[in-house]
């Protein structure tokens, strides 16, 4: 039994969530080219070490960051650290809330990404930070040597500089928002990180990741690219992003990375013991349902489709081991409660039906 499985069974504990799934890193680690395999192996080793560390700190009850004394509600409290290419967290503090931008573009991008996520939660959903109670947002950049991943460890986010395959993980704002959204899920529905609830956990992060990017760019649903991690892959990779919500399974098709394994429909659901039961794979199904809903409704996706997902996540009706069907039914109830049985309700039933998830 892997540590992921153990973590997944302890549903009340936060889980270690990386943006690049293990099946991609496994492929890279087996590449003939040592320039590709070496960094991927080191990233896998660093991830394994972090999983162990996170489990230990969970067991030992390490405290979450506290809201500073006298801090104003409805304002972000960001702190950026530089891990200086080491693996000790958080590292050296390099920027606090309200500090002027420095010379390090990575720090500045991370600071802006935390701010954008905070702002969408506040302005879009009237939520004060990811816990709804002003939780300080902490991120460490320049983590490890050629670390090709980013993760949320239950308390903070960590971003690598990338390697031959991945660029700096602060470049796509949706990657930062994806990781912070794992915090949002942790404080709300807290989906178990395995199988269908795990894929819902991943999908919610992709949905809010994409919404933050659309919010930053002020894009309507029809203009958005619906990609996760666009701009992250280097020119060595044949691909456009890590995942596509518009067309799951088409984000990359590469000699080294292999082909994007995401299904868009239940009939193509992938049964696997890897990747915590395919959490980064089967998330394509609820991802695509959200895309279908948002583009059918049109306009700004966070205003109606996003609101339905947010209400579902925070509504308290779902068990931590919710299935896709449980989630779909809860979205229908949430849509009815907020918008009545109008076009939102109809579009939602159509979206779930198109991906093959029953709501009746």
Span 24-63, contacts to Zn ion by CB under 5 A:
none
- DSSP track, 98-127: TPPP-S-HHHHHHHHHHHHHHHIIIIIH--
| 117 phi and psi angles, rounded to 5 deg | -65, -45
Pairing outcome for strands 157-160 and 150-152: antiparallel
151, β-bridge pairs: 18, 158
Q: Of the ranges 11-19, 64-72, 216-224, 256-264, which one interacts with Zn ion (CB under 5 A)?
A: 11-19
Closest to Zn ion by CB, 174 or 344: 174
Contact 67, 73 (CB under 8 A): no
Closest to Zn ion by CB, 17 or 257: 17
Contact 179, 228 (CB under 8 A): no
With 0-12 / 13-18 / 19 or more C-beta atoms within 10 angstroms meaning exposed / middle / buried, residue 60 is: exposed
CB of 205 to Zn ion, least distance (A): 5
Q: Of the ranges 15-23, 48-56, 220-228, 268-276, which one interacts with Zn ion (CB under 5 A)?
A: 15-23
Return the axis-axis angle of helices 324-339 and 343-354, rounded to nearest 10°.
170
Tokens representing 261? Answer: 């394994």
Q: What is the DSSP letter of 358?
A: -
Q: Of the ranges 9-17, 24-32, 103-111, 156-164, which one interacts with Zn ion (CB under 5 A)?
A: 9-17
CB of 344 to Zn ion, least distance (A): 27
How many positions of this chain bind Zn ion (CB under 5 A)? Answer: 2
Closest to Zn ion by CB, 7 or 17: 17
Span 205-224, contacts to Zn ion by CB under 5 A:
205
Closest to Zn ion by CB, 17 or 330: 17
Distinct helix (H) and strand (E) counts, the chain: 12, 10
Closest to Zn ion by CB, 207 or 294: 207
Span 149-208, contacts to Zn ion by CB under 5 A:
205
φ/ψ region of 158 (left if φ > 0, alpha if ψ in -120 to 50, else beta) reads beta
With 0-12 / 13-18 / 19 or more C-beta atoms within 10 angstroms meaning exposed / middle / buried, residue 274 is: middle
Closest to Zn ion by CB, 48 or 354: 48
Catalytic annotation present for 288: no
- Cβ within 8 Å of residue 189, ≥6 positions away: 200, 204, 312, 313, 314, 318, 320, 322
CB of 171 to Zn ion, least distance (A): 17
CB of 100 to Zn ion, least distance (A): 32
Contact 92, 84 (CB under 8 A): yes
Residue 17 interacts with Zn ion (CB under 5 A)?
yes
CB of 103 to Zn ion, least distance (A): 30
Tokens representing 78? Answer: 């960001």
CB of 151 to Zn ion, least distance (A): 8
Q: Catalytic: which of 77, 142, 280, 288?
A: 280
Tokens representing 92? Answer: 């050296």
Q: Catalytic: which of 164, 179, 202, 344?
A: 179
Q: What is the DSSP letter of 258?
A: E
Closest to Zn ion by CB, 205 or 214: 205
**What SS3 string covers 63-81?**
CCCCCCCCCCCCCCCEEEE
Q: Of the ranges 12-20, 39-47, 108-116, 134-142, which one interacts with Zn ion (CB under 5 A)?
A: 12-20
CB of 172 to Zn ion, least distance (A): 13
Catalytic residues: 179, 280
The site for Zn ion (CB under 5 A) is made up of 17, 205
């Amino acid at each position: 039994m892997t540590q992921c499985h153990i973590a997944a069974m302890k549903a009340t504990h936060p889980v270690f969530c990386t943006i690049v799934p293990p099946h991609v890193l496994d492929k890279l680690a087996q590449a003939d080219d040592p320039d590709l395999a070496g960094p991927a192996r080191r990233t896998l080793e660093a991830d394994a070490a972090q999983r162990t560390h996170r489990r230990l700190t969970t067991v030992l009850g390490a405290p979450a960051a506290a809201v500073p004394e006298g801090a104003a509600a409805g304002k972000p409290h960001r702190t950026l650290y530089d891990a200086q290419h080491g693996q000790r967290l958080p590292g050296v503090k390099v920027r606090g809330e309200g500090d002027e931008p420095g010379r390090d573009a990575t720090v500045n991008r991370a600071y802006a990404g935390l701010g954008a996520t905070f702002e969408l939660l506040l302005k879009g959903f009237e939520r004060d930070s990811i816990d709804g109670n002003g939780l300080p947002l902490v991120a460490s950049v320049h983590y490890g040597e050629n670390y090709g991943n980013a993760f949320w460890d239950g308390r903070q986010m960590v971003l690598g500089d990338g390697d031959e395959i991945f660029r700096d993980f602060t470049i796509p704002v949706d990657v930062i928002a994806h990781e912070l959204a794992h915090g949002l899920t942790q404080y709300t529905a807290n989906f178990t990180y395995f199988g269908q609830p795990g894929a819902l956990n991943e999908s919610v992060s992709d949905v809010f990741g994409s919404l933050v990017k659309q919010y930053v760019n002020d894009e309507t649903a029809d203009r958005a690219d619906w990609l996760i991690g666009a701009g992250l892959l280097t020119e060595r990779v044949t691909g456009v992003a890590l995942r596509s919500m518009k067309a799951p399974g088409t984000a990359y098709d590469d000699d080294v990375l292999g082909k994007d394994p995401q299904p868009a429909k239940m009939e193509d659901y992938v049964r696997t013991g890897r990747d915590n039961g395919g959490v980064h794979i089967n998330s394509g199904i609820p991802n695509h349902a959200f895309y279908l809903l948002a583009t059918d409704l049109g306009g700004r996706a966070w205003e109606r489709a996003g609101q339905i997902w947010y209400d579902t996540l925070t509504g308290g009706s779902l068990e931590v081991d919710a299935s896709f069907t449980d989630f779909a039914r809860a979205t229908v109830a949430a849509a009815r409660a907020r918008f009545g049985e109008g076009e939102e309700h109809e579009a939602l039933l159509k979206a779930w039906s198109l991906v093959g998830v029953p709501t009746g």
